[in-house]
Amino acid sequence: MTGATIFGCAGTVLGAQEAAFFREADPFGFIVFARNVETPDQLRRLTADLRASVGRDAPVFVDQEGGRVQRLRSPHWSEWLPPMDEVAQVSAAHGLVGAARAMWLRYRLIADELRSVGIDGNCAPTADVLTPATHPFLKNRCYADTPEAVALLSRAVADGHLAGGVLPVVKHMPGHGRAVNDTHHDLPTVTESAEVLQTTDFAAFRALNDLPLAMTAHIVFSAYDDLPATCSTRMIEVIRRDIGFSGLLMSDDLNMQALSGTLAERAARSVAAGCDIALHCKGDLAEMQAVAGAAGRMSVAAEVRGVAALAQRRMPDPVDIAALRAEHSALLGRTQTAGHV
């Protein structure tokens, strides 16, 4: 059994101590951040070394939404509008169907850039339904304010990734749009009724419940429980039963201060609640050792879900990338994708 974890590393080169730890802990996969990124050649070497440390084709993830949340940036990679801004701009000229096409193109292009440096998982789509209360840290990362539109656009995002050989990770289940706090710093509590949540926030994810991977929200839904969803058996039941998600479920980053207790306690609680994977992004070796010990190995059921998720990795469909980029730019009313070099 592989470790019930996804880990980052500290810098742009994998250290000997990190490699030895990964060999022993055998995490399900890895995640890279801006601190790990310099050039395409350097990043290609790093992702290869991460996989070599565990001796298998482990998935390597990133947060490359485009806009504010983008770990790979110019001059080596394309720059993108915030998702909400792109959807609004294209919708004004081409309607929601045009916006869905633009989002497919956007993430097919992102997938091409990711695959070229050994990254085959991306933490998108963001299927949180925008509300008037959505905190600014999330607002322009959302796609729309109705579950139907969010589901349509998120499906396009997911399909663009898959066509490009990159696994999408839908987030933040069961819904982050009503949170009025930034979960990097505080624990939000959503007080909306179960009936409303089922027909709005949860409905967007229900329409995407066949996707291979998902990430939880560090949010309390008081209609169900007084614990954050990541650490709540009740909320994981909602994700599995009411939303119907049967794929691999990872926690959001355990370092976020919405969660209480030590990192080991956070990892143990999330796995005990029903998360398949504890996600630790900081790249601190001592912290990773504590998380690995607390999270343990993947359960048999989690292993089955992990194998099924990885089975959806495939070679990218052959396409003319230049033609896709030109089509995307045309939908935005431009001659060139924003910031593309």
**pLDDT tens-digit series, residues 244-283:** 999 999 999 999 988 999 999 999 999 999 999 999 999 9
Residue 339 binned pLDDT confidence (cut-offs 50, 70, 90): very low
pLDDT digits (tens, 9 = 90+) for 20-60: 999 999 999 999 999 999 999 999 999 999 999 999 999 99
Candidates 57, 184, 210, 317; catalytic one = 184
Virtual torsion, Cα 99, 100, 106, 109, nearest 10 deg: -140
Average pLDDT, the chain: 95
Residue 217 binned pLDDT confidence (cut-offs 50, 70, 90): very high
% of the chain beyond a pLDDT of 70: 98
Within 8 A by CB and 6+ apart from 58, the residues are 27, 28, 29, 30, 50, 51
166 touches 122 (CB < 8 A): yes
125 touches 168 (CB < 8 A): yes
Residue 182 binned pLDDT confidence (cut-offs 50, 70, 90): confident
Q: Using alpha carbons only, how large is the chain's radius of gyration in Å?
A: 19
80-260+311-341: CATH topology: TIM Barrel (3.20.20)
107 CB neighbour count, 10 Å cutoff: 30
Domain residue extents for the chain? 80-260+311-341
Give residue 341's pLDDT.
34
219 CB-side CA count, 13 A: 26
- Please compute the mean of the pLDDT values over residues 129-151 and round it to a whole number: 94
Based on the residue annotation, tell me whether 252 is a catalytic residue of this protein.
Answer: yes
Candidates 112, 201, 242, 252; catalytic one = 252
Based on the residue annotation, tell me whether 145 is a catalytic residue of this protein.
Answer: no
- Please compute the mean of the pLDDT values over residues 330-335 and round it to a whole number: 89
